[in-house]
Amino acid sequence: MAPPAVPSSGQPDDAQGRARPHVVFVPSAGMGHLLPFIRFITALSSHDAVDISVVTVLPTVSAAEADHLAALFNKFPGIRRVDFQLLPFDAAAEFPGADPFILRWEALRRSMHLIGTAIAGLTPRATAVVSDVTLVSHVNPIAKDLGIQCHVLFVSSATMMSLLSYFPIYLDEKKNPHAGVGDVDVPGVCLMKRSWLPQPLLDLEKLFTKQFIENGREIVKTDGVLINTFDALEPVALGALRDGKVVAGFPTVFAVGPYSSLAATASETVATTAEADDDGSPPMAWLRQQPARSVVYVAFGNRSAVSHEQLREIAAGLETSGCRFLWILKTTVVDRDDHAGVRDVLGEGFMERVEGRGFVTKDWVDQEAVLRHPAVGMFLSHSGWNSVTEAAAAGVPLLAWPRGGDHRVAATVVASGGVGVWMEGWSWDGEDWLVSGEEIGEKVKEMMADAAVRERAAKVGEEAAKAVAIGGTSQTNMLEFVAKLKATAAKIGKEAANVVAVGGMSHMSILEFVAKLNAI
């Protein structure tokens, strides 16, 4: 489908003079954060009464980020690209050994005061900002100074959003402020065990934790939250957020997921088997040769680096399971640093022993296309939220093996929502014990044969399809979000016209704001 045309700067979009909203997206680093932004932007671009700009930070952390951004701007030339240069930041000296993506989040946060100048200078005038949650504590105040709305595009679950927004309150209400972090009972949602929380939250001095708390306090001051989920998947968490049970006065919640399905529906590019057959990549070519529901798809995300010792246990488990498998192997946090060969990691002889029924690659694959392929019968995953929603949309059972971050919180949704099974007792990052190949193989074989698990996952897939279809909950939420953008643009346009009519103070206020930012 051709991208929407972009009108000349600031002109009304019809004869009645209705203002056209201009939305500025401010994504963060990491494919787990960037990919949902790209999918949502793709979906929003189908609403041809909305202008879109995307703040692009260069250089990207990973090669995959650079490739996906380039593809977005190539596919939608009407989307404006706003390049953004970070201030110098000696991350290695200040935070030695920290996660490179968290360091990039911090570098972005320290440079965010400069984003106001870029937004204020856009033509047509910006009417709303959509920020990544990692940056909202800095972006929202700037949006308010500019007199425009700020929404958060949340890349995790509604359950995780409830933890994020309630965690600062939990800390404030602790009877003993010096006691460590324990279980967190989120009102209206569930009791989240200490062992489920992202590991850094257990240390209040961690950089990630400080960012998490600041963003959690600020998010309730925004104008809306877009979440990559759908009502049938997380009814309890969404209800608690919307009803103000988690935090009183919580902003409007738009459940508009799965983003991948919403984007596909909006652009009329839902992958069919015939289209998947046109994919000439080696993994897809191999899948086409396999029987229906016979393949275990194995992938642990773009940021989860499993130890070589555990990778060899996974290999042993896949081998002893007797199942066919497609394994996307990753050994480092940043893809540009991944130089180890498959045989070096998995050991001599493994590839020969599984020849014909196993395919291992370190290349990037279209995970949506893989999961929608009829040969795939199960997904062994780290339960990152993008993977969970993609499995849900495809109706493929997910065997959740959380590795860190929000993965265990996401795994609670996998289990409660019918997406799959959570191996709560299996190790995750920082724990110095291995899950044996024997145990992995037995669980894979058992789940591949479990008809009840398959049936539950298939029903979730049906609900996901209903959500993004015309009249579905996610599609309706999307239309409500667009309507809010249009109403805001109309209000700003009317106010601007009134102010200009009495002396042009609107333009002067913007110049004064830019001057203030430049003086910082």
Let me know whether 205 and 290 are in one domain: no
E strands of 136-282, at which residues?
149-154, 184-186, 190-192, 224-227, 253-255
Let me know whether 217 and 315 are in one domain: no
- Phi–psi pair at 203, nearest 5 degrees: -125, 110
CA-based diameter of the chain, in Å? Answer: 80
- Is 271 inside a domain boundary? no
Nearest residue to 435 (alpha-carbon basis) of 387, 401, 399, 388: 401
Range of the structural domain that residue 253 is part of: 22-261+471-495
DSSP 3-state assignment of 421? strand
Strand partners, 149: 128
Give how many domains the chain has, as a whole number: 2
How many whole angstroms separate alpha carbon 330 and alpha carbon 340? 9
Let me know whether 489 and 431 are in one domain: no
- Is 95 inside a domain boundary? yes
Let me know whether 171 and 318 are in one domain: no
How many whole angstroms separate alpha carbon 144 and alpha carbon 126? 12
Let me know whether 256 and 324 are in one domain: no
CA distance readout (Å), 10 to 46, 297, 415, 513: 19, 48, 48, 20
The pLDDT of residue 29:
80
Contact at 8 Å (CB) between 489 and 20? yes
Render pLDDT for 139-175 as a digit per residue (tens, 0 to 9).
Answer: 999 999 999 999 999 999 999 999 999 999 999 998 7
Cα dihedral 349, 350, 351, 354 sign: positive
Let me know whether 438 and 476 are in one domain: no
Boundary residue ending a domain (462, 480, 510): 462
The pLDDT of residue 259:
85
The pLDDT of residue 516:
55
E strands of 376-507, at which residues?
376-381, 398-400, 420-422
- Is 124 inside a domain boundary? yes
Let me know whether 318 and 412 are in one domain: yes
The pLDDT of residue 273:
43
Let me know whether 139 and 223 are in one domain: yes
How many whole angstroms separate alpha carbon 450 and alpha carbon 203? 40
- N-to-C CA span, the chain: 44
Cβ-based neighbours of 206, under 8 Å, separated by 6 or more = 200
**Count of residues in the chain:** 520
Cβ-based neighbours of 237, under 8 Å, separated by 6 or more = 157, 158, 159, 161, 162, 189
What does the block give as tokens for 227?
């979440």
- Is 386 inside a domain boundary? yes
The pLDDT of residue 499:
58
E strands of 376-473, at which residues?
376-381, 398-400, 420-422
**What DSSP string runs through 336-365?**
GG----HHHHH-TTHHHHTTTTEEEE-S--
Cβ-based neighbours of 121, under 8 Å, separated by 6 or more = 514
Cβ-based neighbours of 169, under 8 Å, separated by 6 or more = 247
- CATH code for the domain in which residue 225 is found: 3.40.50.2000
The pLDDT of residue 491:
82
Let me know whether 397 and 301 are in one domain: yes
CA distance readout (Å), 486 to 50, 492, 493, 498: 8, 10, 10, 18
Active-site residue numbers? 33, 132
Let me know whether 454 and 484 are in one domain: no
Per residue of the chain (520 residues), give pLDDT as tens: 333 333 333 333 443 445 789 999 999 888 888 999 999 999 999 887 899 999 998 777 778 888 999 999 999 999 999 998 888 888 777 887 777 777 887 888 888 888 899 999 999 999 999 999 999 999 999 999 999 999 999 999 999 999 999 999 999 998 787 788 999 999 999 999 999 999 999 999 988 899 999 999 999 999 999 999 999 999 999 999 999 999 999 999 999 999 877 777 665 544 444 444 567 789 999 999 999 999 999 999 876 668 889 999 999 999 999 999 999 998 765 554 555 678 888 988 999 999 999 999 988 899 999 999 999 999 999 999 999 999 999 999 999 999 999 999 999 999 999 999 999 999 887 787 899 999 999 999 999 999 999 999 999 999 999 999 999 999 999 999 999 999 988 887 777 666 555 555 454 455 565 555 555 5
- Is 406 inside a domain boundary? yes
- Is 181 inside a domain boundary? yes
Let me know whether 161 and 287 are in one domain: no
- Is 431 inside a domain boundary? yes
Let me know whether 389 and 486 are in one domain: no
